[in-house]
Structure 1
Amino acid sequence: MNTDIRFIFFDLGGTFRVIKEDPAYLAAAKTKIAELCGVQVEDPCAWFDTVIDKRYDKYREWALKFMCEAPEEVLWTRWLAFDCDRDRILRNAGELTYQYRQTKGIRTVVDGGAETVKELCARGYTLGIISDLVGRREVDEWLDADGLRPYFKTVQQSSITYVRKPGPAIYYYALDEVKAQPENCCYVGDNLNRDIVGAKACAFGMTVTVQYDPSKPLKLTEENMPDAKVYTFPQLLDIFPARGQVATDKLILPTEGQ
C-alpha cells in the first residue's frame, strides 16, 4: 500500500449515494416509461415489472460479461423495448433511461458525504468519480443541483465511456484526465468484485471499501481484498489527513465476516 496518496476516486451507487424507495415516486417513473414506449395497459407498473425490468436483467448479464455499457438507443431498441415502435423509442431513448433510473428510487448523498468531499479537497486531494450506470443525464443534473461539480476533477461514467468496472479502461480514462499515476491514487467503493478488483488491476496505491451494513459479511478473496474499510463516509477523514501530514488513526482492516 502506498501512503503517498494524492488522488481519490469514488464509486457512486452504494458508496457516495444511497437509494431511498418511495412507492409513489417509483410508480410515476414506471407509468412514464409505458407512456414513452406508447404502451397502453391497465397496470403500467405491473407491465414494467414483468416486461422491462425482466429484460433489463438479461441486459445486465450481457453488460457484466463483456464489461460494456450499451448506448441508450441500443439499450432500448435491442434489449428493453425492441417490440415497440422503433422511431418512437429512438426519439425517447434518453428520457426512457432517465426514467428507468428513477424506478429504482430517490438517490441522495450519504450522511456527511458532501462535507467529507469538501474537506478532502481542502486537505489537498484531487477527487474524481468512476461509476457504472446507465444514462447520460442524471449524474450531471445531480452534480449541478447539489453544487458538487467543482469538487470532482473527472467524472467517468460507463454510460459515456461504454466500458464498465472492473475493466481497467474506465480507471485509465480518469487517470489521464487528472494526469495521475496509479500508485498515487486511492479508489473508494462498495463492490469488492468490481470496484476493488478494477482498481487493483490498475495498480492503484490504495483501495478502501465502504461497509454501511456491518451485518452483511465481506466475501473476501486475494483478488478483491481492499487495504481498509469504513463504516461511515466521514471516516475517510481518519485515513486521509491534510496532504503532507501522517495519519494518526489506525486503518480499519477488512477481515472475513466483518
Structure 2
Amino acid sequence: MNTDIQYIFLDLGGTFRVIDEDPAYLAAAKTKIAELCGVKSGDPCKWFDEVIDKRYDKYREWALKFMCEAPEEVLWTRWLAFDCDRELILKNAAELTYQYRQTKGRRTVVTGGAETVKELCARGYTLGIISDLVGRREVDEWLDNDGLRPYFQTVQQSSITYVRKPGPAIYYYALDEVGAQAENCCYVGDNLNRDIVGAKACAFGMTVAVQYNKNKPLKLTEENMPDAKIYEFPQLLDIFPARGQVAVDKLIAPADGQ
C-alpha cells in the first residue's frame, strides 16, 4: 500500500449515493416506460416487472461477461424492447434509459458525502468518479443540480466509455484525464469483485471498501482484499489528512471474513 496518495476516485452506487425505493416514484417510472414503448397495458408496472426487468437480467449477464456497456439505442432495440416499434424505441432510447434508472429508486448522496468530498478537495486531493451505469443523462444532471461538478476532475461512466469495471480500461481513462500515476491513486467502492479487483489490476496505490451494512460480511479473497474498510463515508477523512501531513493511524483494516 502506497501512503503517498494524491488522487481519490469514487464509485457511485452503494458508495457515494444510496437509493430510496419510494413505491410511488418507482411506479411512475415504470408507467412512463410503458408509455414510451407504446405499450397499452392495464397494469404497466406488472408489464415492466415481467418483461423489461427480466430482459435486463439477461442484458446484465452479457454486460458482466464482456465487461461492456451497450449504447442506449442498442440496449433497447437489442435487449429490452426488441418487439416494440423500432423507430419509436430509437427516438425514445435516451429517455427510456433515464426512466429505467428511476425504476430502481431515487438516488441521493450518502450522509456526509458532499461535505467529505469538499473537505478532501480542501486538503489537496484530486477527486474523480469511475462508475458503472446505463444512461448518459442522469449523472450529469445530478452533478449540476447538487452543485458537485467542480469537485470532480474526471467523471468516467461505463455508459460513455462502453467499458465496465473490473476491466482496467475505465480506470486508465480516469488516470489519463487527470494525469495521475496509478501508485498515487486510491479507489473507494462497495463491490469487492468489481471496484477493488479492477483498481488492484491497475496497480492503484490503495483501495478502500465501503461497508455500510456491518451485519453483512464481506467475502474476502486475496484478489479482492482492500487495504482499508469504512462503515461511514466521512471516515475517509480519518484516512486522508491534509496533503503534506502525516496520516493519523485510523485505517479500519478489514479482518478476515468480515
Aligned partner of 2:130: which letter?
I
TM-score (norm 1): 0.99
C-alpha distance in 2 between matches for 1:141 and 1:163: 21
Q: How does 1:110-125 map to 2 (within 5 A)?
A: 110-125=110-125
Give 4+ residue runs of structure 1 displaced > 4 Å after superposition. none
Aligned to 1:215: 215
Q: 8 Å contact 1:216–1:257 — kept in the other structure?
A: no
Post-superposition offset of 1:257: 3.4
1:176-227: per-residue Cα shift (whole Å, max 9, x none)? 0000000000000000000000000000000000000010001000000000
Q: Does 1:163 align with 2:163?
A: yes
Q: 8 Å contact 1:220–1:255 — kept in the other structure?
A: no
Aligned to 1:97: 97
C-alpha distance in 1 between matches for 2:125 and 2:250: 20
C-alpha distance in 2 between matches for 1:255 and 1:83: 50
Aligned to 1:52: 52
Structure 1: 5+ residue stretches without partners: none
Q: Secondary structure at the match of 2:218?
A: coil
C-alpha distance in 2 between matches for 1:245 and 1:138: 37
Post-superposition offset of 1:256: 3.0
- % same residue: 89
Aligned to 1:39: 39
Aligned to 1:2: 2
Aligned partner of 2:21: which letter?
E
1:98-150: per-residue Cα shift (whole Å, max 9, x none)? 00000000000000000000000000000000000000000000000000000
C-alpha distance in 2 between matches for 1:250 and 1:106: 33
1:56-98: per-residue Cα shift (whole Å, max 9, x none)? 0000000000000000000000000000000000000000000
Post-superposition offset of 1:251: 1.0
Structure 2: 5+ residue stretches without partners: none
TM-score (norm 2): 0.99
Number of corresponding residues: 258
